[in-house]
Structure 1
């Protein structure tokens, strides 16, 4: 019996976590209206589901297109982006905003996010300011949220999220975080702009229901429905 146990243990292969990480990042150019952005990202998904942030997803393209056409919404504003991934939306925002804080929770994703922030932080945006930073933020983690609100004590004018609704378990935590950030500024002082890509009806309902459960109003922004990569997408505005 002991011998069989030893043989079973010998069959267990311990793989280093790097086996699951694809870090073959390529400097890639994206164009949104008159804005051209270069950043490092993957062109194919990592084997680790938690590393989806290494890619540029359809929702980011949808939100960035909207931003490029409505840049007056961002002029002089302070913005926090949730689930920034490689940072393509936050970096575009920095061309117009006073301050942009990009956030993610995964350490490997944060590494490439910070690399892209460094790539762009030396450039002045259109307002003569280059307030671009990356912070760790796990949704629903009060310690992370309070750390950010202590560091950025004036709060934010806008919260952004692009294609961040993948896992059902994360949606309540997302709206926990959004609610705390909105309430910190007070009613009418901040709003959450969510670029949503529809992949499952259960998620469609869950996003609406969780926003409502947290005492928030969620409305589709007129004229934002579109097809991105064969998937239907729209942009929601969420307020207290």
Structure 2
């Protein structure tokens, strides 16, 4: 009797298992949206509200990206003729702005669904930036294979590393700084910098990024005059270099 009872419970549990199509969580109702940064007008496909899957945050334009783009637009001279790699590009709004000034922009993201819309936005702007080399690549922070593939193609590294509003999960911060350090060391001291547009959402994260920067031998320099309110939160620009 006991075995029959257990078998009955197992069958009931199997009946309770619901298989959901992953597409149920994906919103791909992208709208062509106009953004203006100084004299630079950009059109990109993006969502107006998020998918239900937390991993698809890259489908939106986040406050930190607006902070980054305002800073870059006001200081476009630092982009002139540079090669750039961006972490967590999302829909590509920062990389697209860079493409107007840079000679090379490598957009990266780890999510395949986000990479689809990223590539679509790159194609949308390739004709307006004919002198810039634009490329999308998959990059999961801490993944040596992904980073290795990028560096095999761009063996001389990059002048600038960018990251806009990419610090959400504390567990991912060490992996982010591991990857940043590898890229900074290719060029050596003073020849490459990491520009991070950071939006403060938790004190633990504030402490985590400063701690990781220090442990990876980096100088975390807050850019004067960049601390401001973005989306009801406090944002700031850091320029990060090797000590």
Q: Distance in 2 between matches of 1:205 and 1:11?
A: 43
2:80 corresponds to which residue?
75
Alignment of 1:172-211 (within 5 A): 172-211=174-213
1:185-220 deviation digits (Å, cap 9, x = unpaired): 111110000000001111001000001001111110
Deviation at 1:226, TM superposition (A): 0.7
Number of the residue aligned with 1:237: 239
2:99 is equivalent to residue 84 of structure 1: no
User: Would you say how many aligned residue pairs link Structure 1 and Structure 2?
Assistant: 237
Structure 2 Cα separation of the partners of residues 208 and 95 of structure 1: 32
CA distance in 1, matches of 2:163, 2:172: 13
Higher Cα Rg, which structure: 2
Where do 5+ consecutive residues of structure 1 fail to align?
A: none
In the alignment, which residue of structure 1 is the partner of 2:150? 148
Following the alignment from structure 2 to structure 1, what is the Cα–Cα distance between the partners of residues 137 and 33? Answer: 23
1:95 counterpart residue number? 100
1:22 to 3, 18, 27: 27
Cα deviation code 1:116-160 (max 9, x no counterpart): 111111223xxx513111000000111111110111122100000
1:132 lines up with 2:137 in the alignment: no
1:5 alignment counterpart: 10
Question: Over residues 100-122 of structure 1, what are the superposed CA-to-partner deviations in whole Å (9 max), with x where a residue is unaligned?
Answer: 00000010011111111111112
1:46 aligns with 2:51: yes
Alignment check: 8 A CA contact 1:122 1:130 kept: no
Aligned residue in 1 for 2:227: 225
| Partners of 2:18 and 2:31 in 1: CA distance | 31
**What TM-score, normalized by structure 2, do the two folds share?**
0.96
Equivalent pair of 1:20/1:46 in contact (CA under 8 Å): yes
Partner of 2:163: 161
Q: Distance in 1 between matches of 2:132 and 2:101?
A: 10
TM value normalised by structure 1: 0.97
Contact 1:91–1:120 under 8 Å retained in 2:
yes
SS of the aligned residue for 1:102 comes to strand
Runs of 4+ in 1 over 4 A off after TM superposition: none
The Cα of 1:51 is off from its aligned counterpart by 0.6
Matched, 1:63 2:65: no
| Consecutive unaligned residues in structure 2, runs of 5 or more | none
Aligned to 1:114: 119
Pairwise CA RMSD: 0.8
